[in-house]
Chain A
Amino acid sequence: MVTIKASYNNMKELIGEDITVSELDELLSFAKSEINNYVEEEDMLEIDVKTSNRPDLWCPEGMVREIKGILEKEKGIPSLSIKPSGYKVKVDPKLTSSRPYIACAVAKNLHLSDYVIKQFMQLSEKIDHSYGRRRKKASIGLYNLSMIKSPIDYKVIEKTHCFIPLGNDKEMSLEEIIEHHEKGLEYGYIVREYGHYPILLSSDGVTLSLPPIINSNTVGRITEETKECLIEVTGTNFETVNVELNILCQTLADRGAEIFSVEIIYPQEIHKENVITPALTKQEIIVDLEIINKYLGTEITTSTAIKILEKRRFEGKSLDTSKINVIIPPYRLDILHWVDIAEELVIGLGYNKIGATKWQVLTTGGLSQETEDENKVRNILVGAGAVEILTNTLTDLAILTDKVNLDDDSFVKIENPVSVSYSVIRNQIYPNLISVLSRNTHESYPQTIFEVGEVVKIDKETPCTQTNLAYLYADAEASFEDAHKLLHRLMSLLKVEYSIETKEHSSFISGRCGIILVEGNKCGVIGEIHPNVLEKNLIWVPVVGLELELYLLPSLSCKRKFTF
């Protein structure tokens, strides 16, 4: 999801219709967007665009393009006439291994208000961040055309090359920019991976920018006075840089700018032929309406389909009674398959208008055997008067170790935790329940709690998800017997033969704890919690309890789920 800000009044103006905020919201749903907030005093809409593969919608101009189609104010693919600018860009073959592709255009007759500039910057930033994968895949640059002389060089340069980066007043070398400049710190890693520095230079040697990091403070500054500009997209993917440029050109054209093309001179290593950008070649896809109608449950005729496609800013030509050749606008790269066209058609028909149908095929429902068995255990525990708890599986290392006197760390750890409180996946449950008791010492005793939940263990280096039961009983009079009698009844109700073997366990009192054995397998632990653990958790009454791995009980069908 991408959130953008836009002026409500300006959107009304672009649409050419006086509509209310809620009417606008309704129309925006056709552009997979919705109004999240409207600050009337600032005339500012906050719009959530739900699609991550339609960067053309991440600006008011793009959304209005869709709305105008739905309102039938404009139909089909927007026309965009392009004249050559005479500008050329020469691409250095050394860039083959790093950031080989570039697409450029010249925009003239600009009428840039502060709002339009901000809108355009917002669009560039959103595209760079999301569609351009934080500038790694592609990034956008804008320059004052009057300061640039053709041909432009897109080449590799030495790290000592200097220029004044945007927002600075002093020259910095490329190396310094990567090491110290705010944007260098943020995006420098991309260039570091290349092993060399890409640069854009005007033919008179003036630096345009260090892509994808920072523009020049002079050439790369756009103001309300700028009447002509150069737009450039560099990146690692040919299609991506070109579609991004197409989106930017269409957006500026929608604001009244004239667009001129630039010739990109590629070395053979990168691209077989030179390219004129923006390359507004329209992709096509042939779809079979019969198949689409079966898929959607609709009865769309070819003529209706073509009309809807035009409302959705496509164009279509009927090939026979069922097949249509669909022409895709050059600012869209998201059409991969006929199902994408099927969606365009059904959006055009209206989700709330086509009518829901009842699929009547009979199927048998049921819980998994595993859930059924877990429920049996839960019911026994509830019957025993225990209160069920649901705790986090993603928890704190200290809760699983130090707080219960353990140093075993054979649990799944997170590489990128947001907080230490949520940094490991539990491998057993009773430490969490100790933590629950620790936070409830002001509540009346006895406290009888349990959890039947998932834990993850690592078995021969493979993580496996399994369900455990943990039970704790806290009371001034609590003793081993309280846990033992519960275990005994539970096992007897579940028809499981078990034994307890006395064994030391640092969470429990020596001689008052043991492991639970079923068919020779160690499947749990039972005992009186060690006073040292109680002290660490500020619990001032004795606590007894047990933990059981349910998959080891032969009468239950709780399976372990290995990750592969």
Chain B
Amino acid sequence: MNNTENKIYLSPETVKLYEEISKKKEIRIEELLEVTKLNRGKLEYYLSFLVSEKLVERNDIINKKLKLTKTGLDAAKNGLIERRIIKILKEKSSVSFPELSKLIQSDKKEMNAGIGLLKKQNILEIENGQISLIDENIDFNLDLQSVLEDLKTKQIDDAGINTDVIVKRNLGVLEDKKETILKTIVDYSKTKDRIEKTIEASRLTPEMIRDGSWKTIRLKEYNLKVSPPNYFVGRKQPYAQFLDDVKRKLVALGFQEMRGPIVELEFWNFDALFQAQDHPAREWSDVYRVSNPQKGSLPQEEYVELVQKVHENGYDTGSKGWRYKWDSKKSARMVLRAQGTSVSARTLVDLPVPSKYFSISRCYRPDTVDATHLSEFNQVEGIVADSSITFRDLLGILDTFAKDIAGAKEFAFKPDYYPFTEPSVELSTVDPNLGRIEFGGAGIFRPEVTRPFGIEVPVIAWGLGIDRLFMVKHEITDIRELFSYKLDWLREEKMV
């Protein structure tokens, strides 16, 4: 057996206590207090180590203790009332009630009870108001008298067969008495060699660890119920974390991330997406225009030329086009990205097939900022391109988004409108509490969008509204909180 494992570490005071208990094998705690001269608190503290080391067993017993009442104490001192009556009658042979009352110096009720008892026992008789003993040599209740005297003077807790009578006659009452008895489990002599005396410390120091003194030191116990001080950890912003989660899910579904610039040419934001140059969405009320610089340079001429043709006459797509004079100057205007689809439009250049892309991009609209509107927000957008893909496949992709990203059990499709897709569809999910929520929109890019970039296969474009999802989860009603400045929220908002 490993020797160190067997060692018992106890403070010197605890060892002393152990020795005392061990001497007696079994001892009441009161007795131990007297012997050791310790106060109760300290004794209990040292004792707890002995108990936890299983050296001493502690038994708490509840006993009944007979305690004399005032009448009982009186009877022990001056004699029981019946014995005092007998004593007087032995001296006077016959007395009247008033005489007896005077001699006995007791209250009338008690005296009458004594007379009643003696009469019942056929010890005295009453004739013409005169009381006398029947047998002048009588002695009565000598046992009871001596028990009472013992109770008063000696440390005894019960009166054996007399207990009932004493209680009944209100000479004494039975009280609960808690008693702690300590029993030695393992004798001190047997563990003596294994005991290491320790001292107490409030904190563990590097020195204690290094020099091994920790082995003889007992660290004071703490109150673990006390609240700790405030503590904050480094963490990701809750909404950014949520966007990371969405990205992870999309990556798991096989989507590759794309990124694009914040300041965008109208060309990529609108023209490449077949939005006519007089389309209302291009008005100053719907898109932020940049004042420095106002214009940029357009991409490769071949794309610009074909986009122009598609707008003016549909190019070779079979479309009628928008039938107006396209203006390259309007197309070169700088705006803040108004829709994430512009990132998809840029990806159409040299698009690999098959391919699946997504982007989470900051977009901007000239809205007055309030609880339901932001002037900048994030759009989740993407494309899927393959020669085999169909509109029903697009519904299948939305089906996956509804289940895997929104976690929706119920959802539905509705016809929708986007200038750059045909057919277009809206995806709405059904929330058990909030009802129908618009969750996404999608469609197949019009040939007028894909053809100028030399793409011959169908390209699905899709977008998801995930802000609402985040707000529902985090019980946010004010959309401005997505970009919260509140440090308490940023520090303390739940992660799950």
**Is A382 close to B, CB under 8 A?**
yes
A367 and B257: CB pair below 8 A?
Answer: yes
Alpha-carbon gap, A414 to B334, bound state (A): 10
A421 and B415: CB pair below 8 A?
Answer: no
Asked if A337 meets B255 with Cβ closer than 8 Å, knowing A351-B425, A414-B290, the reply is: no
Asked if A336 meets B487 with Cβ closer than 8 Å, knowing A361-B388, A383-B234, A414-B289, the reply is: no
Which residues 213-266 of B have a CB within 8 angstroms of A? 230, 232-237, 239-240, 244, 247, 250-265
Alpha-carbon gap, A303 to B144, bound state (A): 122
Alpha-carbon gap, A368 to B297, bound state (A): 26
B262 and A337: CB pair below 8 A?
Answer: no
**Is B318 close to A, CB under 8 A?**
yes
What is the 8 Å Cβ interface bit string for chain A, positions 462-504, against chain B (1 contact, 0 not)? 1111000000000000000000000000000000000000000
**Is B423 close to A, CB under 8 A?**
yes
A422 and B334: CB pair below 8 A?
Answer: no
B415 and A32: CB pair below 8 A?
Answer: yes
Give min CB distance, A259 to chain B, whole Å.
27
Which residues 336-357 of A have a CB within 8 angstroms of B? 336-340, 342-343, 346-347, 351-352, 354-357
Give min CB distance, B148 to chain A, whole Å.
72
Partner of B396, one of A296, A356, A412: A356
**Is A185 close to B, CB under 8 A?**
no
Alpha-carbon gap, A337 to B280, bound state (A): 22
- Chain A residues in 8 Å Cβ range of B320: 336-337
Chain B binder among A78-86, A247-255, A438-446 = A438-446
**Is B486 close to A, CB under 8 A?**
yes
Which residues 283-313 of B have a CB within 8 angstroms of A? 284-285, 288-294, 296-299
- Chain B residues in 8 Å Cβ range of A461: 293
Alpha-carbon gap, A361 to B384, bound state (A): 10
- Chain A residues in 8 Å Cβ range of B482: 390
What is the 8 Å Cβ interface bit string for chain A, positions 276-299, against chain B (1 contact, 0 not)? 000000000000000000111110
Give min CB distance, A507 to chain B, whole Å.
20
Partner of A32, one of B247, B296, B416, B422: B416
Chain B binder among A46-54, A170-178, A519-527 = A46-54
- Chain A residues in 8 Å Cβ range of B256: 363-366, 368
Alpha-carbon gap, A436 to B486, bound state (A): 8
Give min CB distance, A244 to chain B, whole Å.
15
A417 and B366: CB pair below 8 A?
Answer: yes
Chain B binder among A6-14, A202-210, A213-221, A391-399 = A391-399
Give min CB distance, B234 to chain A, whole Å.
4
Which residues 402-444 of A have a CB within 8 angstroms of B? 412-419, 421-422, 425, 435-436, 439-440, 443-444
B230 and A444: CB pair below 8 A?
Answer: yes
- Chain A residues in 8 Å Cβ range of B447: 337, 339
Alpha-carbon gap, A347 to B443, bound state (A): 13
Asked if A390 meets B240 with Cβ closer than 8 Å, knowing A371-B257, A422-B369, the reply is: yes
Give min CB distance, A29 to chain B, whole Å.
5
Asked if A365 meets B485 with Cβ closer than 8 Å, knowing A52-B417, A384-B234, the reply is: no
Give min CB distance, A195 to chain B, whole Å.
20
The residue in chain B whose Cβ has the minimal distance to the Cβ of A346 is: B423
What is the 8 Å Cβ interface bit string for chain B, positions 49-70, against chain A (1 contact, 0 not)? 0000000000000000000000
Alpha-carbon gap, A357 to B393, bound state (A): 5
B236 and A388: CB pair below 8 A?
Answer: yes
**Is A260 close to B, CB under 8 A?**
no
Asked if A351 meets B232 with Cβ closer than 8 Å, knowing A133-B280, A295-B390, A563-B264, the reply is: no
Centre residue among B239, B395, B398 by max chain A CB count within 10 A: B395
A563 and B296: CB pair below 8 A?
Answer: yes
What is the 8 Å Cβ interface bit string for chain A, positions 295-333, against chain B (1 contact, 0 not)? 111100000000000000000000000000000000000
Give min CB distance, A47 to chain B, whole Å.
14
**Is B386 close to A, CB under 8 A?**
yes
Asked if A34 meets B293 with Cβ closer than 8 Å, knowing A297-B393, A365-B254, the reply is: no
Number of residue pairs spanning A and B whose beta carbons lie under 8 angstroms apart: 282
Partner of B289, one of A365, A415, A419: A415
**Is B5 close to A, CB under 8 A?**
no
Alpha-carbon gap, A436 to B488, bound state (A): 12
B261 and A413: CB pair below 8 A?
Answer: no
- Chain A residues in 8 Å Cβ range of B384: 359
- Chain B residues in 8 Å Cβ range of A340: 422
**Is B30 close to A, CB under 8 A?**
no
Centre residue among A392, A448, A454 by max chain B CB count within 10 A: A392
**Is B354 close to A, CB under 8 A?**
yes
Alpha-carbon gap, A393 to B361, bound state (A): 12
B250 and A463: CB pair below 8 A?
Answer: no
A418 and B259: CB pair below 8 A?
Answer: no
Alpha-carbon gap, A239 to B320, bound state (A): 13
A385 and B356: CB pair below 8 A?
Answer: no
A386 and B234: CB pair below 8 A?
Answer: yes
**Is B319 close to A, CB under 8 A?**
yes
**Is B392 close to A, CB under 8 A?**
yes
- Chain B residues in 8 Å Cβ range of A53: 417, 419
- Chain B residues in 8 Å Cβ range of A71: none
Give min CB distance, B493 to chain A, whole Å.
10
Which residues 370-391 of A have a CB within 8 angstroms of B? 370-371, 375, 378, 381-391
Asked if A357 meets B356 with Cβ closer than 8 Å, knowing A336-B320, A339-B447, A415-B294, the reply is: no
Alpha-carbon gap, A421 to B414, bound state (A): 38
The residue in chain B whose Cβ has the minimal distance to the Cβ of A394 is: B376
- Chain B residues in 8 Å Cβ range of A368: 256-259
- Chain A residues in 8 Å Cβ range of B391: 295-298, 342, 346
**Is B82 close to A, CB under 8 A?**
no
B412 and A352: CB pair below 8 A?
Answer: yes
Partner of A351, one of B252, B356, B414, B483: B414
A563 and B288: CB pair below 8 A?
Answer: no
Asked if A435 meets B375 with Cβ closer than 8 Å, knowing A368-B258, A563-B334, the reply is: no
Give min CB distance, B248 to chain A, whole Å.
8
- Chain B residues in 8 Å Cβ range of A561: 259-261
Asked if A337 meets B425 with Cβ closer than 8 Å, knowing A32-B415, A564-B297, the reply is: no
- Chain B residues in 8 Å Cβ range of A343: 415, 422-424
A356 and B392: CB pair below 8 A?
Answer: yes
Alpha-carbon gap, A449 to B491, bound state (A): 10
A413 and B388: CB pair below 8 A?
Answer: no
Alpha-carbon gap, A155 to B278, bound state (A): 26
Asked if A357 meets B390 with Cβ closer than 8 Å, knowing A447-B487, A454-B362, A463-B290, the reply is: yes
B235 and A465: CB pair below 8 A?
Answer: no
**Is B355 close to A, CB under 8 A?**
yes
Asked if A393 meets B261 with Cβ closer than 8 Å, knowing A351-B414, A359-B396, A365-B256, the reply is: no
Partner of A363, one of B234, B356, B487: B356
**Is A358 close to B, CB under 8 A?**
yes
Asked if A378 meets B288 with Cβ closer than 8 Å, knowing A130-B280, A297-B391, A454-B262, the reply is: no
B364 and A394: CB pair below 8 A?
Answer: yes
A412 and B423: CB pair below 8 A?
Answer: no
**Is A456 close to B, CB under 8 A?**
yes
Partner of A564, one of B251, B291, B298, B388: B298
CB-defined A-B contacts under 8 Å, sample of 17 = A29-B414, A297-B393, A336-B320, A337-B422, A343-B423, A355-B395, A359-B393, A366-B256, A367-B257, A382-B236, A388-B237, A389-B490, A392-B375, A414-B336, A415-B291, A463-B293, A564-B296
Given contacts A371-B247, A394-B364, A416-B284, 20 further A-B contacts (CB under 8 A): A50-B416, A50-B417, A52-B279, A295-B391, A358-B396, A361-B389, A365-B251, A365-B252, A367-B251, A367-B257, A368-B258, A375-B244, A388-B490, A390-B239, A412-B290, A415-B288, A416-B289, A418-B375, A419-B369, A422-B369
Which chain A residues have a beta carbon within 8 Å of chain B's beta carbons?
A: 29-30, 32, 34, 50-54, 130, 133, 136-137, 237, 239, 294-298, 336-340, 342-343, 346-347, 351-352, 354-359, 361-368, 370-371, 375, 378, 381-394, 412-419, 421-422, 425, 435-436, 439-440, 443-444, 447-449, 454, 456, 458, 461-465, 561-564
Query: Closest 6 interchain pairs by CB?
Result: A297-B390, A297-B392, A343-B423, A356-B395, A51-B417, A359-B393
